[in-house]
Amino acid sequence: MKKLLYQFDTDALPSVFDNVVAHDGGADQVIPYGSISPQNVGGLVEGAIFTRAPRDKKNTAIFVGGSNLLAGEALYLAVQKKFFGNFRVSMMLDSNGANTTAAACVAWMSHGRSLQGMKAVILAGTGPVGQRAAVMLAQEGVRVSITGRQLDKTQATCDAIAQRFGVTVHAIAAPDLESRAAAVRDTQIIVATGASGVVLLEEEHWKGLSGLKLVADANATPPMGIAGVDIMDKGAQRHGAAVFGAIGFGALKLALHRACIARLFEQNDLRLDANEIYAIAKTMVG
């Protein structure tokens, strides 16, 4: 029986990246739908849950993606609301690669060390990847702050994280290089999750920080989000800190994404969101 993955994307154009990885993860056919919302998803879910016998339902799965994590979360919940009894299929949420990217990054940072009690600042943490990195670090016992250019938006992001995951994340308004440099002065972990090609921190702003232990930059498009990080870094020691670049931890992100897709087809009731994907990442890192 063919393994069918229904790719529900909240953007008008479904992600090609997610489509390719879904095939590489073991789906025989990936069917992309764009502009999917809680309002129009109902009939699609019914098609997925009513068509195959109970023992065969594991061969149908749903992937929720798109560039807007809040829209993805709403869609992910709307799909689950259509399930009842054994009329359900496995599903995964990974808007903009938020879960798999953050999980790979935090799994590498926590590999072989405890982060408990440390302080972290996630620069430009209001996007999908930053939000999920904040959750995962907070759940490792880290005191997490995220920066954004506007306090209102950044605080709203922290509030949404608290409501969804029950963890406290602090908001810092940091619209320019100087304010971001000030934000990281007394921290052990710096993570950059800004939009592609945006420089968030100069090397001089972090190279002299005595307590700094870990630095990670998710941006894979030059220039780097944190100057002085090499895109291939995978724990390299720089200025006294272990440093991770976007491709350095990106190999785990891709392997994790594929592994999650494969797992969807092992049962018909799996849910893969931040907590589950991070747990899988921890078994794969190293």
Nearest distance in Å: CB 205, ligand NAP = 14
Q: For ligand NAP, which stretch binds (CB under 6 A), given 29-37, 48-56, 121-129, 204-212?
A: 121-129
**E strand intervals along 182-225:** 189-192, 214-217
If one counts every other C-beta atom within 10 angstroms of the C-beta of residue 186, the result is 12
Nearest distance in Å: CB 133, ligand NAP = 9
- The backbone region for 23, taken as left when phi is positive above 0, alpha when psi lies in -120 to 50, beta otherwise, is alpha
What residue is closest to ligand NAP based on CB? 127
167 binds ligand NAP (CB under 6 A): no
Any idea what DSSP says for residue 194? P
Residues numbered 124 to 153 that lie near ligand NAP (CB under 6 A) are 124, 126-130, 148-149, 153
Nearest distance in Å: CB 106, ligand NAP = 12
Nearer to ligand NAP, 44 or 173 (CB): 173
Nearest distance in Å: CB 81, ligand NAP = 26
Q: How many residues does the chain have?
A: 286
DSSP alpha helix (H) spans, 151-266: 151-165, 177-183, 246-264
Q: Which of 61, 194, 242, 270 touches ligand NAP by CB under 6 A?
A: 194
| Cα–Cα distance measured from residue 103 to residue 105, given in angstroms and rounded to the nearest whole number | 5
Q: Which of 71, 218, 243, 256 touches ligand NAP by CB under 6 A?
A: 218
The arrangement of strands across the sheet holding 234-238 comes to: 169-173, 143-148, 119-123, 189-192, 214-217, 241-244, 234-238
Nearer to ligand NAP, 149 or 258 (CB): 149
198 binds ligand NAP (CB under 6 A): yes
Nearer to ligand NAP, 48 or 273 (CB): 273
If one counts every other C-beta atom within 10 angstroms of the C-beta of residue 87, the result is 15
Nearer to ligand NAP, 162 or 199 (CB): 199
Which tokens belong to 200? 């968030």
CA distances to 76, 101, 130, 235 from 249, in Å:
26, 8, 15, 9
Binding footprint of ligand NAP, residue count (CB under 6 A): 24
**68 with 243: CB under 8 angstroms?**
no
Nearest distance in Å: CB 241, ligand NAP = 18
Q: Which of 106, 193, 224, 244 touches ligand NAP by CB under 6 A?
A: 193
161 binds ligand NAP (CB under 6 A): no
Interaction site with ligand NAP (CB under 6 A) = 96-97, 101, 124, 126-130, 148-149, 153-154, 193-196, 198, 218-220, 246, 250, 253
